[in-house]
Amino acid sequence: MEHIYSYHHLREFTREVFIHMGCSLEHAALASEVLVAADLRGIDSHGVARLSGYVRLWEAGRINAKPDIRIVHETPSTAVVDGDGGLGLVVAPYAMEVAMQKAASVGTGWVSVKHSNHFGIAGYHAMKALEQDMIGMAMTNASPLVAPTFAKERMLGTNPIAVAIPAKEQPPFVADFATTTAANGKLEILQRKNEEAPYGWIQDTEGNSSTNPHELRSGGALLPLGGDREHGSHKGYCLGAIVDIFSAVLSGANYGPWAPPFVSFLPLAPDPVGEGLGHFFGAMRVDAFRPADEFKSHMDTWISRFRAAVPVEGKQVLIPGDPEREMQHHRLENGIPVLEPVIRDMKEVAAKFNLNF
């Protein structure tokens, strides 16, 4: 069971919640924009379904509503940003802006972040670079829910990677994906719908493949992209590890099994190796490599040719970013579906702050 809400209704409600958490008007507006961008693009696992989780983290003292976000180390093309425990939804845009400013100055900009929290969808941050004819990159480490290939222990997060590349007449190329077979949020959606998970998504405590979407609560783990060794899970493991190192080892955030959990009822790992959660951002000015207009024309050619690839029967060849772009257009016009369990969470949050939903 689901109900339809307008983008503006969901964004305004989340903005009010962040204000009542103590965020500034500017930060609340930005955080709500980033959060609801996930619902708009069809990534329901990272949108308003996460709102109650942010509130609980704030209540537990794990989110600073008034952070002093600042650069703590930099060179002409690099920086480390300390998020001061703030909402990742606010810290990440700050860091991406720093990366773009450095790219504007010297051609490329690279920013690693520590002491942050969950930052919404990676694609939102990577796409900011498109506005300035830049290629954008965004990644983050996350709650340790993933077992490396051949392991029973949860060591990595879903650790997404996003890359946004501008084109001329064609829409931009936007890849945004978890380095696991499926993101944890997709399991949460299956739980709400009382549906089983496909094989290759999760394993039980003994490392056996499972279809129980509640397996993580029993000590099971998500699987790296590929699912098992025979289908390339070692490559997904490598991708997740790269994200963890770039986001956290490089910045001074917690990495691997020390990454702080998103859910407030799980304790922080003892003897932390860093500060908070980590992110990594990159911006590359296209004209640092070749004239931007020339590059974008060739991206049009690339995209057009791939679209024209001969499809298998009954299928259509897509370009990364196509499904999300089409979903955004549809949901702006027709509204965003919200599942009943998420609505109940939203109403509980509304009651907590004496708001209407």
In a domain, 315, yes or no: no
Same domain as 276, residue 127: yes
Q: For residues 177 and 125, state if they share a domain.
A: yes
Average pLDDT, the chain: 96
**pLDDT tens digit string along 77-96?**
999 999 999 999 999 999 99
Q: What is the pTM of this model?
A: 0.95
Nearest CA to 120 out of 209, 222, 18, 208 is that of: 18
CATH number of domain containing 211: 3.30.60.50
User: What is the pLDDT, as a whole number, of residue 155?
Assistant: 97
Claim to verify: residue 92 and residue 237 sit in the same structural domain = yes
Same domain, 276 and 347: no
Q: What is the pLDDT of residue 186?
A: 80
Average pLDDT over residues 146-167: 97
Specify burial of residue 209 (Cβ count, 10 A radius: 0-12, 13-18, 19+).
middle
Quote the pLDDT of residue 298: 98
Q: Which of 193, 220, 247 is the last residue of a domain?
A: 220
**Per-residue pLDDT reduced to its tens digit, 179-211:** 999 877 788 788 888 899 988 899 999 999 899
The answer as to whether 289 is a domain residue is yes
| Token pair recorded at residue 199 | 């094989």
* The pLDDT value given to residue 183: 77
Q: How many CB atoms lie within 10 A of CB 120?
A: 25
Residue 326, domain member (yes or no) = no
pLDDT tens digit sequence for 284-329: 999 999 999 999 999 999 999 999 999 999 999 999 999 999 999 9
Specify whether 38 is located in the same domain as 75.
no
Answer yes or no: is pLDDT of 274 > 80.
Answer: yes
In terms of domains, do 297 and 175 share one?
A: yes
Residues 137 and 247 in one domain: yes
8 A C-beta contact, residue 88 and residue 120: yes
Quote the distance between the C-alpha of residue 275 and its chain's center.
Answer: 19
Q: Which of 113, 172, 114 is nearest to 138 (CA)?
A: 113
Same domain, 157 and 31: no
Contact 188, 53 (CB under 8 A): no
Q: Same structural domain for residues 103 and 236?
A: yes
**Residue 318 domain flag:** no
Q: Is residue 320 part of a domain?
A: no
Total domains, the chain = 3
The answer to whether residues 210 and 81 belong to one domain is: no
Q: Tell whether 264 and 349 lie within a shared domain.
A: no
Q: How many of the other CB atoms lie within 10 Å of CB of 89?
A: 28
List Cβ neighbours of 258 (8 Å cut-off, separation of 6 or more).
Answer: 144, 269, 271, 272, 273, 274
Average pLDDT over every residue of 60-74 = 97
Q: Residue 160 is part of a domain; what is its CATH number?
A: 3.30.1370.60
Q: What percent of the chain has pLDDT over 70?
A: 100
Helix intervals (H) in the chain: 7-20, 25-40, 51-59, 88-106, 122-127, 184-193, 233-244, 292-307, 322-334, 340-352
pLDDT at residue 318 in the model: 97
Cβ atoms of 98 and 20 closer than 8 Å: no
pLDDT over 90 (residue 3): yes
- Tell me the pLDDT band of 355, cut-offs 50, 70 and 90: very high
Identify whether residues 171 and 204 lie together within a single domain.
no
Q: What is the pLDDT, as a whole number, of residue 194?
A: 85
Q: By residue range, what is the domain housing residue 348?
A: 1-66+334-356
